Amino acid sequence: MHAIDILDSHMAYADEGTGGPTVVLLHGNPTSSHIWRGVVPHLSGSARVLAPDLIGMGASGKPEIGYRFADHAEYLDAWIEALGLGEVVLVGYDWGGSLALDWAARHPGRTRGVVLTETFLRPMTWAEYPAPAVPLFQRLRTPGEGEQMALEENWFIESALRATNPGIADADLDVYREPYPTPESRRPLLQWPREIPLDGEPADVAERFEAYGKWMEATPEVPKLLLTTGLGQSLVSEGIVAWAEEHVAGLEVTDIGPVGHHAPEDAPEAIGRAVAGLLERLA
């Protein structure tokens, strides 16, 4: 892992491979760049592959900020500029996918391709959200209850990861657990569920999602690969896929099998092959 000073803090990142296109892998909540460990070897022979720990997560710093979507985007912007990255291929799941699309929409002409899985393609309603998760995420968004779950009980690490991806090894769970030894250190994990634009709230995040939706529709020259997981509880449901097929230009949809929400844990080979295939087509 490397580290670089960013704004008032620092960000840690993996940097493998040389030559070819630059690929940026963006993780979700509550994981870190560690989740891409099985994907990177499929790409590093023909590309430079970078995987940051988002601010407040993994080995990156924990500045005193609100950890809202806009905060993460600001630090990601600064990290990309500090490394002098030009055109990139963006790969993201969960919040990493949303941050990738947001960056692409705000930096026209710099995204060569996008690969997404288990992410937010547009604002959603509570009725569209995976039904088993609704009561849990309503609690997480409730003042007091969310703090108890995410900060005191460390729910994302101790319960949610194994619930969605039961095959996670103890050693890998320890890697995800290490950055969050105290309730205060877990504040970034709590803020993420409060940023999901559901039924229009929070409005500022919904606006950013709508903006990158317009970018996806207006950029047929940028290939966009959506990897579906074949599970009924997926964030990318059949309805979301149908919406994407109608509204996302340059879209290809590929199913990678029945894997959990943190898809790179369960299907690194399938994801790696899919991204490598996109790189070959770009070449």
The reply to whether 269 belongs to the active site is: no
Q: What is the pLDDT of residue 283?
A: 87
* Cα 192 to Cα 68: distance, rounded to the nearest angstrom: 7
The reply to whether 266 belongs to the active site is: no
Whole-prediction pTM: 0.97
What average pLDDT does this structure show over 28-38?
98
Q: What is the pLDDT of residue 271?
A: 97
Label residue 231 by pLDDT band (50, 70, 90): low
The reply to whether 262 belongs to the active site is: no
DSSP designation for 54: P
Q: What is the pLDDT of residue 232?
A: 57
Under a CB-based contact definition with an 8 Å cutoff, are residues 212 and 104 in contact? Answer: yes
Residues 6+ apart with CB under 8 A from 267: 229, 256, 257, 259
pLDDT at residue 50 greater than cutoff 80 = yes
pLDDT tens, residue by residue, 71-119: 999 999 999 999 999 999 999 999 999 999 999 999 999 999 999 999 9
**Catalytic pick among 53, 71, 102, 118:** 118
Label residue 234 by pLDDT band (50, 70, 90): confident
**Catalytic pick among 94, 195, 265, 266:** 94
Order of strands across the sheet with 251-255?
Answer: 2-6, 9-16, 48-52, 22-26, 88-94, 111-119, 224-228, 251-255
Class of 2-282 in CATH: alpha beta
pLDDT at residue 169 greater than cutoff 80 = yes
**E strand or H helix at 252:** strand 251-255
What's the mean per-residue pLDDT of the chain? 96
* Cα 260 to Cα 234: distance, rounded to the nearest angstrom: 8
**Catalytic pick among 71, 261, 262, 265:** 261
Residues 6+ apart with CB under 8 A from 50: 13, 14, 15, 22, 23, 24, 25, 83, 85
Q: What is the pLDDT of residue 274?
A: 97
